[in-house]
Structure 1
């Protein structure tokens, strides 16, 4: 599916994130990152650790300053955080002294200050019901499992009625079964609410199963879009059918090959092995690996 002028809901253009370097030029973590996202599309962003995936997401969320370039969401250039972009982080970050209901209500109060208490209560209850917590909304975080706490985080995000849902490794701390359950919860919500979404993930199967397009990032520093892969499975998606489809393995093989070719540890085996064998090196060889510091001047 090619981009068109009418389908660009999120436009990320020549995005740069640089940090000051007291010893020379600024360090560019993300450099010339370009991506257009269609309305209602689900994008997965994948790459090696440290390549800047979460940096791109937090700039899109307005939580991280943009060094250069720009981001347009719904024909408006962003300049900071806003309720049109909700984030679900890896850790749910719940207030321990508030119930699940109270945690979701925090954002709802700020987002809908002019609404009546009854309307705000209805929004919170609906959001918690959608993620399967209708019977647990008055429990405190300590009374909830890790998966249930993350459901509260998802409910808190969708309660703001955002146009873009940003997911920063939201299932990374969960066991496999809970992870799959919450993947289905998110996909159901996106289908019903017709939200645009971007997920940062290290999980290859998750990146393929959930997304319409998989954006593979090059290694940092100066990371950008390395390749974009279209995922053509129809929606709604049945997990068993997708995982049995020959195309799934084709997508998986291509994605793994991309990551393997750009592995930051590729070619480092010889050095790694030598340092592991330092107990077997003689004194001269050991000093060659770890040079002796000059003696301090008395």
Structure 2
């Protein structure tokens, strides 16, 4: 039975002190419920706070106000129930792919035998298509293969929530599409609740069950939520031929365009140091 409140984000606020010591509110009341097994994308203009929200969910960034609950438990700092894949895989260059995955496995499964840990790490690498390359060092792997190691390292933890922070942003378009399908294949099998931060409208529509559109920052929040009604598993050819894909795409672009006009208007009306002279 699916838990419709598996990930609960309530009244989330993030403030940073400005140079004068006053609080600058970056996120102002972000609310979101994510059912178990759903993939939700968060999209918005640069600087709106998408990655700030993700790092607060990961426990890597303190919450000013509000709360985040995963599977009925409020989070307090980072934990293995939430795994993050960043834009850069951040692999240790002196370790081969298998050892990079084993780093996390050892900390999450301290009571497992050495053989059991190796089996978990090897299975994760096979899952992302690196069964023949697990003993290669990062310098011997392409950018896409390195990111596959990062994905394997995350799923090997068997997290309750997978957090993807623009994981394909540095990759060419062909590799990007390949890894989108790798992620979707994993999620179809394991049903991991997933949040994806992306700037790519087509990527958001293709991969997501829902898309959260954030308003401009500062004081950003959820502007609109778009439901994506495509069956799983996803078939890229069928989706690209579906008129609904372009309808969803147009809705996202219109929202982003409206936010862009709003940002430009705000800049024009902002007082300058010479105002009134």
Query: TM-score, normalised on structure 2?
Result: 0.94
CA–CA distance in structure 2, aligned partners of residues 43 and 128 of structure 1: 24
Is structure 2 residue 148 aligned with structure 1 residue 151? yes
Offset at residue 37 of structure 1 (A): 0.3
C-alpha displacement of 1:62: 0.6
Tell whether 2:181 aligns with 1:189. no
Q: Tell me the number of residue pairs that the alignment of Structure 1 and Structure 2 aligns.
A: 270
Displacement after TM superposition at 1:244 (Å): 1.0
One of 22, 37, 42 as aligned partner of 1:40: 37
Q: 1:270 to 1:107 in 2, by over 3 A?
A: closer
Equivalent in 180, 185, 204 of residue 177 of structure 2: 180
In the aligned structure 2, how far is the partner of 1:134 from the partner of 1:252? 36
Cα deviation, 1:253-294, whole Å, max 9, x if unaligned, reads 0100000000165359999xxxxxxxxxxxxxxxxx998xxx
Q: Which residue in the other structure is 2:123 paired with?
A: 126
Tell me how far 1:22 sits from its aligned partner: 4.5
| 1:285 paired residue number | none
Partner of 2:135: 138
User: 1:257-296 alignment to 2 at 5 Å?
Assistant: 257-263=254-260, 266-267=264-265
* Structure 2 unpaired stretches of 5+: none
Deviation of the 1:235 alpha carbon: 0.6
Match among 17, 20, 24 for residue 17 of structure 2 = 20
TM-aligned CA deviation for residue 157 of structure 1: 0.1
**Alpha-carbon distance in structure 2 between the residues aligned to 1:230 and 1:73:** 22
C-alpha deviation, 1:205, in angstroms: 0.3
Q: Secondary structure at the match of 1:12?
A: strand
Native 8 Å contact 2:216 2:263 kept in 1? no
The superposition leaves residues 118-138 of structure 1 with CA deviations (integer Å, 9 ceiling, x where unpaired) of: 000100100000000000000
The CA distance in 1 between the partners of 2:208 and 2:17, in whole Å, is: 35
2:39–2:194 CA contact under 8 A, matched in 1: yes
Q: State the SS of the aligned residue for 2:211.
A: strand
Match of 2:161 in 1: 164
Q: Secondary structure at the match of 2:88?
A: coil
What do you get for the CA RMSD once the two structures are aligned?
A: 1.9
Match of 1:133, SS? Answer: coil
- CA distances 1:210-269 after superposition (whole Å, capped 9, x unpaired): 000000000000000000000001111100111110011100001000000001653599
Kindly state the Cα deviation for residue 25 of structure 1 after the two structures are TM-superposed: 3.2
1:244 pairs with 2:241: yes
**In 2, Cα distance between equivalents of 1:127 and 1:107:** 12
Q: Name the TM-score, length of structure 1 as normaliser.
A: 0.87
SS at match of 1:8: coil
For 1:247 and 1:106, how far apart are their aligned partners in 2?
Answer: 43
- Structure 1 runs (4+) greater than 3 angstroms displaced: 264-271
